[in-house]
Structure formats: C-alpha cells, structure tokens
C-alpha cells in the first residue's frame, strides 16, 4: 500500500512515469521495494529459480567456471563474480563442486554483487565457512579489476524496461499515470517516443532501441517494443572487463533470441500471475530478456558470444544426465524420484519446464571456446 501511495504522489506532483521507473520503484524502492522487503524464492515464496530446484544447476555451472579458468591459463588472480546471487545457493553448490579441481580455489577470489542488504545477509550466512575470500559489492563497478569469470541467473529479467507502442507507424511510450478518480492507470504518451516532461532527466530512447524501432517492416499496429537501458549498461561493463583482462561471462535467464515486439512484463506473487498494479511491492515484476541485444552489445565491444541456447541443451552438454545418475546411485527411491523430477524441470521442454524458455549465453575473451555450447 505504501508504494501505491508513493507512486500516486509522485505522478500527481510531477507527471506520468515510464515503465522502467515503475519497475525500479516496485522492485527496489528503499524499505518497501520487492527485493528489499520480501523473501521471493522457493515453495513458500513467489517463484522458484533453477539453483533452488536442484544442486545440479550450481554444480554444473561450477564445472563451467573451472573449465574457463583452465582455458585462460589456470593462473591465480582471477575474480569469480556472481551478480544477483539471491539466497547464495548457486555459489554454495559451485564451490562444493569445484573443491576437487586442483588449484582452482586457491587461484580465485569471489565477489558477490547484490543490491539488497537483506539478501546480502542471507548469502553471507549460507556461505559462512565455505570460502575464505568473499566480498560483497552493490555494483559491478566496485569489483577489483582483474581477469573475471562472471555468472548470473535470473538477473537481467529483473532490470527495468521501457515500452513503446506502435500506432499509425509511430512509436509512443507506455507510461503509468492517474485516472480521473486518482487511481493508477497505464496510459500511452501523447508525443512520439517520449512524454517529454522532466526535461533532460528523462532518457531518450537509446541507440539500440532506435535500431529496433527503425526496422519497422512487418511490425504490426499495437506491437510493443521493449528496451532495457540497464541491460545495455551492465553488458557493456561486463564486456569491458573481459575485453581488458580476459575471462568469460555466463548469463542464464528467460527470454528470446529475436525481439518479439510484445509486452513481456509480468508480475508474479505466490507462484501465480497477478496484475501489475495489484499489491505493488509484494509481487515480483520481470520482463523477458532480449538476448539479441546482449549479443549485439558484446559484439560492439569486440567480444565473441556463444548461444543463447536452451538451458536444457546447455545442461545436457555439461553432463546433467551423468550427474543425476551419480547422485541417484546411493539415493533412496524417494530421493531418486526427486532427482528425476528436478532434472526434468531444469531441462524439459514443456510449459512448466525451463529447458527451452530459459536460455544460456556465454560472452568470452579472445579465442576462448567455452564448455556447454
Ligand atoms: N540468482 C538468484 C536470484 C535471482 S533473483 C537465483 O537464481 O536464485 C534476482 C537477484 O538479483 C536478487 O538477488 C536481487 O536482489 C538481485 N538484483 C536485482 N537487481 C540487481 C542489480 N542491479 N545488481 C545486482 N543485483 C541485483
């Protein structure tokens, strides 16, 4: 309720806000934003992420990281970075799975990049005693500038996107405004591209958005273009680090390989879809990730990328079948069933499964051929 009132005041005293501003406030506003206040993950939370489904996910990503480390020379002074680590489960499984890789743990330091103070605490407790050199940062820019191996799962989908709607061959921005009764309501800006109301505070549509707006052909009336400025900035920063010192990044998320020109912003509460304006601050809000954009940014920064391929293919290539079989060896019947159903959820192609909807993209430094693609 506090956030709804805050949004109303903000709009009343200035002007409608764009979808990215709305997402940013709903997710990250001090005290009342979703990631600041709520425990989103797991059966009791709002959604279940891959590392929370099975230890196999983090373990196989650990193997991927150790392989990159060997391929960039196996030297010390490498920074292993996770951005948006949630409950810290992926990192815990990654560390456990790579203990036996000779020299790997001694060669790395770990940086966790997390914006939520509450989740930093949760991660800290989870990793207590597992590894001597872990530090937390709020922003990737603060992480020591060294060769890097960067991983993230379900981070990019949380970054706020702006939306533009096509009407009579022009694009107008979708905004959150107020109706006559003073309630929140989505509206379409009156002028093209921008509701130019806060002078230069409002960002103009960026270069990548303009390229997508320009390829007008075959895009229907009412189509929606989504554009994520934060994704561009983060990808530029990840790429710049890899370009400068070498290394690789693995990005796992749900999204598409070609812009789909439709509205993908959704709110989820208690494992169900809810309206975007329902219970603001208590539902998770996310948008599909435009992998073609991430690849284009990496390539503009002079890097090579692999994928995005389905999470199912990636995990199969990384050996999930073998891992599941070896975990099952000494398991009870019930445990065997759990391992099978977790595996099916991670790699299956059905509607409720993650194998195809979720995708994996690797961005790499010079001549590095990453495992899994
Ligand atoms: N990777 C975890 C959590 C995914 S939820 C998992 O798979 O379970 C998204 C995570 O990203 C949360 O930890 C959230 O607090 C964090 N986050 C959101 N925006 C961020 C940003 N700009 N920088 C760093 N972390 C961010």
> Has residue 265 got a pLDDT over 70?
yes
- Is 229 touching ligand 1 by the criterion CB < 6 Å? no
Looking at residue 203, its pLDDT comes to: 47
User: Mean pLDDT throughout 238-254?
Assistant: 97
CB 85 less than 6 A from any atom of ligand 1: yes
* CA–CA distances in Å: residue 189 to residues 8, 193, 329, 335: 17, 8, 60, 54
Strand, coil or helix: 239 = helix
The tens digit of pLDDT for each residue in 275-326 reads 999 989 989 999 999 999 999 999 999 999 999 999 999 999 999 999 999 9
pLDDT of residue 216: 66
Question: Confidence class of residue 96 from pLDDT cuts 50, 70 and 90?
Answer: very high
Neighbours of 182 (CB within 10 A): 10
pLDDT in tens, 156-211: 999 999 999 988 877 888 999 999 999 999 999 877 654 444 443 444 677 888 77
Quick check: 354 pLDDT over 70? yes
Q: Mean per-residue pLDDT for 234-244?
A: 97
- Determine whether the shortest distance from the Cβ of 33 to ligand 1 is under 6 A: no
Whose tokens are 């891992």? That residue is: 323
C-alpha angle 38-348-225 in degrees, rounded to nearest 5: 60
What's the chain's average pLDDT?
Answer: 91
Nearest CA to ligand 1 atom 14: 84
**Distance from residue 217's CA to the centre of ligand 1 (Å):** 36
Confirm or reject: Cβ of 23 under 6 Å from ligand 1. no
Report whether residue 114 contacts ligand 1, using a CB cutoff of 6 Å. Answer: yes
**Largest separation between any pair of C-alpha atoms in the chain:** 67
73: which strand partners?
none
Q: Is the CB of 158 under 6 A from ligand 1?
A: yes
**Which of 86, 92, 136 is the best mutation target for the ligand 1 pocket, counting ligand atoms within 8 Å of the beta carbon and taking the most?**
86
pLDDT digit string, tens, across residues 129-140? 998 899 999 999
Q: Which residue has the higher pLDDT, 250 or 171?
A: 250
Pocket flag, ligand 1, residue 35 (CB < 6 Å): yes
Number of Cβ within a 10 Å radius of residue 36: 17
Using alpha carbons only, give the angle 166, 229, 12 rounded to the nearest 5 degrees. Answer: 70
* pLDDT per residue as tens digits for the range 5-58: 999 999 999 889 999 999 999 998 887 888 876 677 766 777 789 999 999 999
């Amino acid at each position: 309720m506090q956030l709804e009132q805050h949004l109303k005041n903000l709009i009343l005293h200035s002007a409608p806000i764009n979808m990215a501003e709305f997402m940013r406030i709903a997710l990250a506003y001090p005290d009342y934003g979703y990631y600041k206040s709520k425990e989103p993950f797991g059966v009791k939370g709002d959604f279940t992420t891959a590392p929370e489904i099975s230890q196999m996910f983090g373990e196989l990503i650990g193997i991927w990281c150790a392989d990159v480390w060997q391929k960039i020379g196996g030297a010390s002074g490498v920074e292993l970075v996770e951005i948006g680590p949630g409950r810290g489960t992926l990192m815990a499984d990654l560390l456990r799975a790579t203990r036996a890789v000779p020299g790997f743990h001694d060669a790395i330091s770990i940086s966790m990049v997390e914006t939520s103070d509450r989740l930093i605490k949760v991660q800290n407790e989870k990793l207590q005693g597992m590894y001597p050199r872990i530090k937390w940062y709020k922003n990737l820019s603060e992480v020591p500038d060294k060769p890097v191996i960067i991983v993230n799962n379900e981070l990019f989908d949380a970054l706020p996107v702006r939306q533009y709607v096509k009407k009579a061959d022009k694009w107008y921005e979708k905004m959150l405004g107020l109706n006559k009764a003073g309630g929140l309501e989505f509206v379409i800006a009156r002028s093209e591209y921008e509701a130019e109301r806060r002078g230069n505070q409002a960002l103009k549509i960026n270069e990548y958005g303009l390229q997508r707006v320009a390829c007008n052909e075959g895009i229907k009336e009412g189509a929606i273009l989504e554009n994520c400025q934060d994704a561009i900035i983060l990808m530029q920063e990840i790429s710049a680090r890899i370009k400068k010192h070498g290394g690789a990044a693995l990005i796992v998320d749900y999204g598409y390989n070609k812009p789909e020109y439709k509205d993908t912003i959704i709110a989820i509460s208690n494992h169900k879809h809810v309206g975007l304006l329902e219970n603001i601050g208590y539902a998770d809000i996310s948008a599909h990730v435009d992998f073609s954009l991430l690849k284009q940014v990496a390539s503009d920064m002079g890097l090579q990328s692999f994928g995005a391929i389905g999470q199912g293919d990636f995990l199969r290539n990384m050996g999930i079948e073998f891992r599941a079989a070896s975990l099952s060896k000494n398991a009870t019947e019930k445990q065997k069933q759990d391992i099978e159903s977790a595996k099916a959820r991670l790699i299956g192609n059905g509607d409720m499964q993650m194998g195809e909807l979720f995708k994996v993209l690797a961005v790499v430094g010079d001549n590095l051929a990453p495992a899994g693609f």
